[in-house]
Structure 1
């Protein structure tokens, strides 16, 4: 067959279908997550809560009530009791005549900020310490493992009380305490995963090519830890939010002048019999937020597991 005949025959061949692009692990995980109704509903709830927190100044401008503004003539009855929900105070007022809704939205800012920042700090330090302990092994692993055991054995409330007494309660101290008692759990998980990876073939190949330990940890081991670290971080956020609420409820959290869910709950204990909404609304907000983060974390865990069953 001549070249001309071969070209003519090739022109009459049916066109080949285009290749199907492969799906990466993150795309597959996103598809699994999208099929998880509980996780997607939780993600939508979290998005709404974050949006409301960001719009707190807008609500304050609409109502004309700042988070610290007191309206004793409108927000408190002649008997000295907080008023309930009304057109002026949409969720009622507290014992000082402050708008409960506005304070809750500003409190959401504090709780979300503390939960996310403390989780990021715990994740960074936990990943680094866990990788160093698991990869180097020997006395380094033994020393760091014992340090993690000591940290996990500390009574966090006692430590928080001592630090608050010495340095005074405040947002930086609150974030430090929460991150300090959260990074050990992250470090333990990362240490176990690193020990499992350090003898794998691709790690041995990197060593044979002359890669140093630090480069091997961050270039070869760390990418394989993203999935478990992401899952644990998503579950640490609600734990940190509850941690913040607990410390603020006990007066060990943010400045008392700063609204937070824990402080609002503490202030409501004097009026929960006559104004149950003061306790119910912030408690419900805290419950919905932590439940949404936990359900989303469960969904992320199932989505990142390649053995997860298709739903």
Structure 2
């Protein structure tokens, strides 16, 4: 009987299908209700951004001075601003702008930061020293001050704000990937790949980079939330999107003088920023818990 039990156990173990890390991560992510709520918020704002032309009831930049500072009503759900523009339409189109800045700035910083981090971690020595010092210099400045300095040099515009946000996020991705590469390159399969004569480029692209994807994805989702806040801050200071672009930070700046007279002009853009950032942060925390092996029971 013990031999039969052992054979059955072994057969069951053999028949169990192997689950890829990504499928396992998704299965763990679905168990996190808070993370799913965050994902729902993200999908909601992405949907709004994609279909802004259909969903917006009015032109986002059309001025009607006769409708100045109308309170929320059936005609204008979010009210109107000091130029009579429909705030709901401007918030909807603002989602497209904020998500564009968030996604593209993070993609740019992730590409540059990941490349530099992989090179620094894999080759080490003086290469690592130079790249790490560059990261240290960038991290020595407060992020928003560095972004202001970059935009001041390039000129105030939405595109330059995107570039500035990408630059200040490069060292975050670089240091994260560098630490991951330092750990991965000591694994036995990397040593075996070198022993059989595999080139550095193939090792980097086929082994080290795929095994560094999980922290990059987690950091990317969290960085988008930060990028949206930074874009709103630059817009509020007049260094990002310029009038009449319906960008959330610029909307707050244009309405700050009417916060008592027409509070809805500040409330709805602020709520849009808060919900979008909350969604990405909750989703990022859920991805971290799902993809980090140390968080598993």
Normalized against structure 1, the TM-score is what? 0.87
Cα 1:213/1:309, change in 2 over 3 Å: closer
Q: CA deviation at 1:270?
A: 1.1
1:92-127 CA-to-partner distances (Å, cap 9, x unmatched) read: 000010000000111110000100111111111111
The structure 1 residue matched to 2:169, chosen from 182, 195, 209, is: 182
CA distance in 2, matches of 1:153, 1:289: 28
| 1:267 and 2:263 are equivalent in the alignment | no
- Counterpart for residue 95 of structure 1: 82
Greater fraction helix: 2
Q: Match for residue 67 of structure 1?
A: 60
Given the superposition, is the C-alpha separation of residues 162 and 300 from structure 1 closer, same or farther in structure 2, using an over 3 Å criterion? closer
Q: Is the 8 A contact 1:160 1:252 kept in 2?
A: no
Q: Which residue of 1 aligns with 2:6?
A: none
TM-score w.r.t. structure 2 length? Answer: 0.91
Report the counterpart of residue 4 of structure 1 in structure 2. Answer: none
Equivalenced residue count is: 286
Deviates more, 1:229-238 or 1:195-204: 195-204
- 1:85 equivalent to 2:72? Answer yes
Is there any run of 5+ residues in structure 1 with no aligned partner, and where? 1-15, 77-81
- Judging changes above 3 Å, is the alpha-carbon distance between structure 1 residues 143 and 166 closer, same or farther for their aligned structure 2 residues? closer
Larger Rg: 1
Q: Which residue of 2 aligns with 1:192?
A: 179
How far off is 1:155 after superposition? 4.4
Describe the superposition over 1:52-87 as per-residue Cα deviations: whole angstroms up to 9, x where unpaired.
Answer: 222221133xx3x211101111x22xxxxx111112
Closer, same or farther: CA 54–222 of 1 in aligned 2, 3 Å: same
1:155-170 to structure 2, matched below 5 A, reads 155-170=142-157
Aligned runs of 1:122-133 on 2, under 5 Å? 122-133=109-120
1-structure distance, mates of 2:152, 2:282: 36
1:145 and 1:243 mapped to 2: Cα distance? Answer: 24
Structure 1 partner of 2:33: 37
**1:159 Cα offset (Å):** 4.4
Equivalent residues of 2:29, 2:35 under 8 A apart: yes
How many Å apart are 1:165 and its aligned residue? 4.2
Cα contact 1:171–1:253 (8 A) shared by 2: yes
Q: Return the alpha-carbon distance in structure 2 between the equivalents of residues 252 and 273 of structure 1.
A: 25
Partner of 1:194, secondary structure, is helix
Task: Determine the C-alpha separation between the residues in 1 that align with 2:171 and 2:246.
Answer: 29
